[in-house]
Structure 1
Amino acid sequence: MLPQSEIERLKLTIKGVVQGVGFRPFIYCLASELNLSGWVNNSAQGVFVEVQGPKARLREFLDRLQTEKPPLSQIHELQVTSIAAIAETRFEIRPSVSGEKTALILPDLATCPQCWREIFDPDNRRYRYPFTNCTHCGPRYTIVRRLPYDRRNTTMSAFPMCAECRAEYENPRDRRFHAQPNACPRCGPHLEWWDETGRVSARHDDALIAAARAIDAGQIVAVKGLGGFHLIADARDETAVRRLRDRKQRPDKPFAVMYPSLDAIAADCQVSPEEREWLRSPQGPIVLLTKKPGFEDSGAIAPSVAPRNPTLGVMLPYTPLHHLLLAELGYPVVATSGNRSDEPICTDAEEARDRLRGIADCFLVHNRAIARAVDDSIVRAIGGRATILRRARGYAPLPIATGLVGDVPLGDSSPRLLAVGGHLKNTIAIGRGPQIFVSQHLGDLETPQAVAGFEEAIARLQDLYDFTPESAVCDAHPDYRSTQFVRGLNLPRHAVQHHYAHVLACMADNQVLYESGLGVAWDGTGYGSDGTIWGGEFLRIPAIAEGEDLPEFTRVAYFRPFPLPGGDRAVKEPRRVALGMLYEAVGDRLFAASEDFSPAIARLLGSFTPQERQVLHRMLGRSLNTPKTSSVGRLFDGVAALLGLADRCSFEAQAAIALEAVIDPEAIGEDSYPLPWQWSDDGATVALDWTPTIAEIADDLADGVAVGVISCKFHHTLVEAIVATARRVGESSVFLSGGCFQNRYLSERAIARLQQAGFTPYWHRQIPPNDGGIAVGQIVARLRAIASGRPSDYR
């Protein structure tokens, strides 16, 4: 027996992603292997450990804790203190304890290889069981109601474990040790097959077989999955896909496709090694891939799945239910969100029966409750890495770390902040200490149902963490539903300019919150500091220096504003945007019958009736319902309409997607159009004058230059504007943010040209560049204001 002087006892507090990933059994096995005594348990803050033994073995324990931890775990903070040794001979796992709730909840994870093998093994007791999971995979965020993450606090509390599942759950050496959703066919959730009225006609595996047969027959099946319902149809069946479009009132927006295997995806799409890894990762997102040449003629996928689009959003099965269904079918299916247009995704079976009636022909449901709606995430390769375009399943609610801003620590003394995001692609966030907890994608706040879902998400996220905000942060736009919600709270409130929030989200994503830089914020629309519509902004962000009276940002450049005839109607009719741009360039001449315009402009004018042209001329001439904007997103719309690619749109960014899609990779050169500067009277700001750009585009069209070449030159023009403005401003760091930077060609060209010119470009990865990142930027804006000793500019 060793002398007491050689025995030491350590107390460990481990914070991060350490619950639901097999962390406690890892600690137990490691301590047992090293013959150490003590205990480990979960808490509402993370994992607590007390471990005792010889000093040399304790050092080995700490080293291996870091290097051998479970692959899905993340240690964000490890506190180690020495305490008095006690008389003790064994190591044990103790029950969880409560307290302040700061532990990180793991997102829902795709089926692991071990569970996949079990559900297809006829000799395994979980053969064909669609709710199989372990500590390496399965539901997490969608089933947890409160912390700590124990079964009693999840929707699985309704299913008492059988003796065999209980034995697995209590065995520290079993991979299902404390797997909170652990279940089997004897004790766990089960499937039911409903007709459109909700009548049950099959259960268990028979229900799954019935669903497969219905899809085979061309029917649309609503399937209750992990975080809500999918509407599923045979992706090869043009009639079924068109029926789904008609019923869902979604005429053009691409559908996501779930394939049975990676090989099947690779047969239809170009898949890089990185994209392969993303597809089969535990996050299992939808990945936007480029279709292979000849795809449209192959008949592999119905033309209406992703019409006139060179990319396809694809994913692999990520739950046992999806694996079993796709294995039964053997072909790809459309798997789109189970909702009506602009409404939240359905999560409850009875709710789905009522809300999806008339869209779905039948329903495959189960009796495991969903605690919160979580849609599929979307990822795209930009600049050689994954950029999340929709952050939901697999990623939410993992936090974004704020760390330090300048020399000012924003640690546990930071105020508790609620940020409510924007109006489109909404997410909400809570700022707590050094972390920002971001909700899953909530969608556009266009309907009462969507607003109700937004308010419910706020309540549930706050309840999950026992979070009471000290102040709220919103967009500066006075008419956003999210802004109006904040006005109804009995809290101090702070408004943040939309494009400033975009840039700060990019800075947070790259962990450079304290630096100065040039922010390039390009999107559709956002409320400007001067009350006009912004969207083509160059913002200089100063470095944080405590106590200095610095502006939050300086608008150093922007695109020359142009009118939007009809306001919001112009967003849905790019031809109106093009008309407004042409009127800004040539004035009343545009409507003169004697003018001999190029064929492209004549075609555009001819898309309106004589009466419409008369009304639009009057509106533009008198500035009636023609708000002006600097938006690059709308500039994309106008150019797309001028090229005849999109006179009208049925979904956001449809025209911009069409313009990117026609770029001809065989004809790409280095040419661009002129985009001169117009200096302000004081020389402080620059307006980029797009009118010569449009004039030369019209000339190229008249000369028969291919649309793909014109699109390429237009993209190059925008990129050269970024480089030229960066040179003028003189900041070495350039942050690219806003919905326009979902455009892969624009982003990658800008990244490459900035690097060639000696700048350091930053772009998004974990936080979407679109409005899904606004809530993060709002919290960072408030933290920067506090760190610099400056109150918010808005109240």
Structure 2
Amino acid sequence: LARSLDLKGYILNRGNAGVRLVLQGDTNQIDKFIEKVEIKKPEISYIESINMRDIKNAALYNDLEIKSSEQGRGVSLTLPPDIAICDDCISDMKNSSLKKYYKYPFIACAVCGPRFTTVKDLPYDRERTTMIKFPFCKEADPVSCIEEYTDSNNRRFHAQTFACSVCGPKYTLYNKSKEIIVKNDIDKILEETSKQILDGKIVAIKGIGGVHLVCLAEYDDILIKLRERKGKRKNKPFALMIPKIDTIQHEFYISNKEKELLTSFRRPIVLLERRDNAIDSKISQQVAPGLNNVGIMLAYSGIHYLLFDKLGNIPLVYTSGNRSSIPMSLDNEEIFTQLNDLADIYLLHNRPIHQRADDSVLRIHDTKVKLIRRSRGYVPEYISLPFKVKIPAALAVGPELTVTGAVLRRNRIFPTQHIGNVTHLETYNFLNNAIFHMKRLLQINDEEIQFITCDAHPAFITTKYARELSEKFNIPLLPIQHHYAHALGLMAENKIKLDEEMIAITTDGVGYAEGNKINSIWGGEILRCSYVNYEKLNSLEPQPMIGGDRCTKYPARMLASILLKKLGVEEARTVFQQLKIQKDLEYGNDELNAIISLWEEANGNFPNKNIPFTSSTGRIFDTVSYLLGACKMKTYRGEPAMKLEALASRGNPENVPLEIEKRYLRDTSGLILDIIDLLNDNRIKREDIASKVQLEIAKEFAKAAIFEARFKSIPYIGLTGGVAYNYSFSTAIRNEVKEAGLTFLEHDKIPPGDAGISIGQLIGGIFKYNQEG
């Protein structure tokens, strides 16, 4: 752009201090440059602000020069996320006259290809990426890579991660015994790999940020085989990859917003709702058992497109290549070891991956993005805070499940990629590595880190990790209550000012209660929040969880707990027999009798270590899901509530006589009894009950929040927490709030679930540190 306007000067990469561009020339041309840079900026870029100043410079420039990078220090990163292959590179890859790029799966240019996953350090130059292993070729057909890199008119000019078939990384196909099937022949590799997939085999394919397990999506037996091999993956949904949107358009509803994200440079997995009347489906029900939506992503790298050229226009299962709860292996030898009894063949490359990055996952609520997993295509982008921060740096370690860490740099927060459940040593190490890699990229010195922040739950592994970091750096440890962290992230994302407040509806599965109350769990609270503190105003009725976490795996236990509290032992026994809940307990009648004994032995002394109390919305949705037959046992996180939402999507709430005047917010026990009564009426459909229950609970939350907002003259009501992913629940609250003339706040950039907690922890830590400091 500068050259087209005949501007002179220089540009240089200054590490995480950004880029310095010095321009010299006609004033009108410089003004045109500023005007056009906003219009013609690359798709992957965004502009926060433009500030101009005249500089005194005696030098006269004769050209526009790219100078060598320097080690600058600043508050940001000039490193983009990993970017999906661009149309120009796809065209080059399919052009047989471009011999060096023809069918070359690692093709890239200045606007596409791997970034975050390959960079070891900044400034962002090839020698600080894993591509240093592959020096540019000096001879190739039609032109060498070093010539393209140095040609200012070439779109690979100063592109750091491209290469060609002469000088770049290569794929090799192996069998389970690590013996080479095909090497150095991409045609034969593609032919054999596609043949194996079409024969029903499961293939491990190494990509940009890790490895996938890939197979056909159409046949039940193949999907069941994959589930059996993955062990704990009994019902958890698999993501699908498609070559183009036309592949699945007849089977799914696809909004303009969903299409925009599917085709974006980020290429996330987008949850799409299935059509009820789809015919000739190429997608087995085993892909997402019991759910009404399926995660879909478009091909995003060269190898994907080359395989689909062989396989045709069909969907493929593309799921993370790892054992449950263990991060993906990156080294080829480790991939063989981890996937030894999962994959039939292995398509692996020799380009090192410096940082693993799972595929990002999201769903759309009308036009708002609800990030579920924020990883490839998003990291290392930052969240900008709507206020000034004097603290140079701080670290957050997240909660314990679906974790991300985060690094504070002044008024910017840099979340790590998706880490997972920090319940294994491998995941713990991954979290530590990801946080300190981000710290290194930001060039943060140890002495700049002012505090460590974590969840308030004392038993979380991440809390122990935070204590170790606090001791290591000799700085304060600042725990932040789980649901307050959710709310703080929502406030900052919506640019709430320092002197403003929000009424937060926080709904999820579990969070350590206010004031370190032992054996008390939150998950359905209405909070009054400022950036400095919060106050609990209301909540769902606290319910017992006899046996603690076993109630989350077996919703029948949660139901038994609620009925014993509401009805007493004798009357509850009658209902147990009516519902036959013992058949849905792991140890049948023996377990049911043990539940009753624990209740009787407590003798009203609640909560205690065997019977914690919870106000969790997730546990109520689990119980309703169980009662309506949607889910008898949880095999993955959120399963009962997700299957309840799927059941409700087919229902009509108008068909069910369940009135909001019942005040179900404070009487969820009464709600459960009313549902049991409704199940005795054969005229009422279970999907209608599911739809009605979601709607009524949402309205109760909204009514209570609206009352508090009006009474306290607070104009904002926000919804956060994992239950905010439920579209009907979220929409019902939003509609009630807007009809009341108040402003509804929801997530669009920060995950509503626990993946967003680390951001809120840092925000809470800032103000806690300022108060205590």
TM-score by length of 1: 0.89
* Equivalent position of 1:152 in the other structure: 127
Aligned to 1:667: 652
State the 1:598 CA deviation.
8.9
Q: Which residue of 2 aligns with 1:479?
A: 459
- Partner of residue 697, structure 2: 718
- CA shift, 1:402, in A, is 0.6
Deviation for aligned residue 1:260: 2.2
Tell me by how many angstroms 1:676 deviates.
5.2
Alignment match, 1:94:
67
Distance across 1 between alignment mates of 2:571 and 2:638: 26
Equivalent residue number for residue 592 of structure 2 = 613
Aligned to 2:675: 697
Q: How far has the Cα of 1:174 moved from its partner? A: 1.3
Answer whether contact 1:416 1:431 (CA < 8 A) is retained: yes
2:2 matched to which residue of 1? 31
| 1:552 and 2:552 aligned | no
Where does structure 1 lack aligned partners over 5 or more consecutive residues?
A: 1-29, 545-550, 679-686
Deviations 1:248-296 (A, max 9, x none): 011000100111221012122111122111111101011101112244x
Indicate if the aligned counterparts of 1:640 and 1:646 stay in contact, CA closer than 8 A. yes
Q: Distance in 1 between matches of 2:335 and 2:556?
A: 38
> Is the alpha carbon distance of 1:120 and 1:416 closer, same or farther for their aligned partners in structure 2, counting shifts above 3 Å?
same
SS of match in other structure, 1:767? coil
SS at match of 2:54: strand
| Aligned match of 1:750 | 733
Paired residue type of 1:538:
I
Matches within 5 A, 1:757-772: 757-772=740-755
Show the counterpart of 2:356: 373
Q: CA deviation at 1:674?
A: 4.2
Alignment of 1:401-550 (within 5 A): 401-404=384-387, 409-410=388-389, 413-467=390-444, 468=446, 469-489=449-469, 490=471, 491-512=475-496, 514=498, 515-530=500-515, 531=517, 532-542=520-530
Q: Residue 691 of structure 1: CA displacement? A: 2.0
Aligned to 1:627: 612
Partners of 2:254 and 2:646 in 1: CA distance = 18
Kept after mapping to 2: 8 A contact 1:526/1:533: yes
Q: What is residue 40 of structure 2 aligned with on the other side?
A: 68
Does the 8 A contact of 1:471 with 1:493 survive in 2? Answer: yes
State the one-letter code of the partner of 2:360: S
Match of 2:605 in 1: none
Which whole-Å deviations, capped at 9, do the CAs of 1:737-769 have from their partners, x for residues lacking one?
A: 101111111112221222122221111111111
1:176-325 map, 5 Å: 176-204=156-184, 205=186, 206-249=188-231, 250-295=233-278, 298-325=280-307
Q: Which moved more, 1:141-150 or 1:754-763?
A: 754-763
Q: CA deviation at 1:677?
A: 5.7
Q: Deviations over 1:132-168 (max 9, x none)?
A: 1111211010101101111111111111111311111
- Are the counterparts in 1 of residues 653 and 695 from structure 2 also a CA contact under 8 Å? no
> Separation in 1 of the partners of 2:437 and 2:247?
39
1:77 is displaced (CA, Å) by 4.7
SS of match in other structure, 2:116: coil
* Deviation of 1:675 (Å): 6.6
Distance 2:560 2:521 in 1: 18
User: What's the counterpart of residue 642 of structure 2?
Assistant: 657
In structure 1, C-alpha distance between the alignment counterparts of 2:122 and 2:295, rounded to whole Å:
34
Alpha-carbon distance in 2 for matches of 1:610, 1:51? 80
Structure 1: how far apart are the matches of 2:227 and 2:20?
Answer: 52
Structure 1 range deviating more: 570-579 or 601-610: 601-610
Question: 1:270 is aligned with what amino acid?
Answer: Y
SS at structure 2 position matched to 1:266: coil
Measure the CA separation in 2 of the matches of 1:354 and 1:598. 47
- Partner residue of 1:579? 560
Which digits, 9 at most, give the CA deviation of each residue in 1:25-69, with x for residues without a partner?
xxxxx3323322211111111110111123333333333333332
For 1:327-346, list aligned pairs within 5 A: 327-330=309-312, 331-346=314-329
| 2:161 aligned with 1:173 | no
Matched, 1:138 2:122: no
1:647 equivalent in structure 2: 632
Q: Output one character per residue of 1:462-509: Cα deviation in whole Å (capped at 9) or x when no partner.
A: 222222322100000011111100111223110000000011111222
The answer to which of 640-649 and 79-88 deviates more is 79-88
Q: Distance in 2 between matches of 1:282 and 1:377?
A: 12
Aligned-residue offset at 1:534: 0.7
- For residues 624-669 of structure 1, the C-alpha deviation after alignment (integer angstroms, 9 at most, x for no partner) is 6121101000111111112222221100111001111111546233
Structure 2, unmatched stretches of 5+, are: 139-143, 603-608
Pick the aligned partner of 2:372 from 383, 389, 395.
Answer: 389
Kindly provide the amino acid, as one letter, of the partner of residue 197 in structure 2: I
Q: Counterpart of 1:247 in 2: which secondary structure?
A: helix
Q: What is the SS of the residue equivalent to 1:537?
A: strand
Q: 1:248 to 1:605 in 2, by over 3 A?
A: closer
Instruction: Measure, in 2, the Cα distance between the counterparts of 1:513 and 1:119.
Output: 50
> Is the aligned partner of 1:41 residue 2:12?
yes
The letter for the 2-side match of 1:180 is: Q
After superposing the two structures, state which structure 1 stretch, 357-366 or 231-240, moved more. Answer: 231-240
State the distance in 1 between where 2:660 and 2:668 align. Answer: 8
* 1:591 shift after superposition: 4.4
What's the CA shift string for 1:541-577, capped at 9, x where partnerless? Answer: 13x5xxxxxx610000011111112111111111111
User: For the residues of structure 1 that align with 2:768 and 2:760, how far apart are their CA atoms?
Assistant: 12
- Structure 1 pair 260/37, CA: closer, same or farther in 2 (3 Å)? closer
Identity across the alignment (%)? 33
Q: Deviations over 1:658-691 (max 9, x none)?
A: 111111546233964447569xxxxxxxx72212
CA shift in 2, pair 1:581/1:673, >3 Å? farther
- Is 2:651–2:687's contact at 8 Å kept on the other side of the alignment? no
Deviation at 1:79, TM superposition (A): 4.3
**Counterpart-to-counterpart distance in 2, 1:286 and 1:116:** 21
CA distance in 2: counterparts of 1:562 and 1:666, whole angstroms: 27
1:709 to 679, 685, 688: 688
Contact 1:675 1:688 in 2 (8 A): no
CA distance in structure 1 between the partners assigned to 2:214 and 2:537 by the alignment = 49
- SS of residue in 1 equivalent to 2:195: helix
Distance in structure 2 (CA, Å) of the matches to 1:446 and 1:673:
42
User: Is the Cα contact below 8 Å between 1:191 and 1:208 reproduced in 2?
Assistant: no
Q: Residues 76, 465 of structure 1: CA spacing in aligned structure 2 closer, same or farther, 3 A cutoff?
A: same
CA RMSD of aligned residues (A): 1.9
Equivalent-residue separation in structure 1 for 2:700 and 2:430 (angstroms):
40
CA offset at residue 89 of structure 1? 2.1
The answer on whether the counterparts of 1:528 and 1:534 sit within 8 Å (CA) in structure 2 is yes
Give 3-state SS (helix, strand or coil) of 2:89's partner: helix
8 Å Cα contact 1:598/1:702 also seen in 2:
no
Q: Does the CA contact (< 8 Å) of 1:604 and 1:641 recur in 2?
A: no
Deviation track 1:689-722 (CA, whole Å, cap 9, x = no partner) reads 2122112111111112211111111111111112
Q: Which amino acid aligns with 1:203?
A: K
Would the alpha carbon gap of residues 329 and 273 (structure 1) be closer, same or farther in structure 2, given more than 3 Å must change?
same
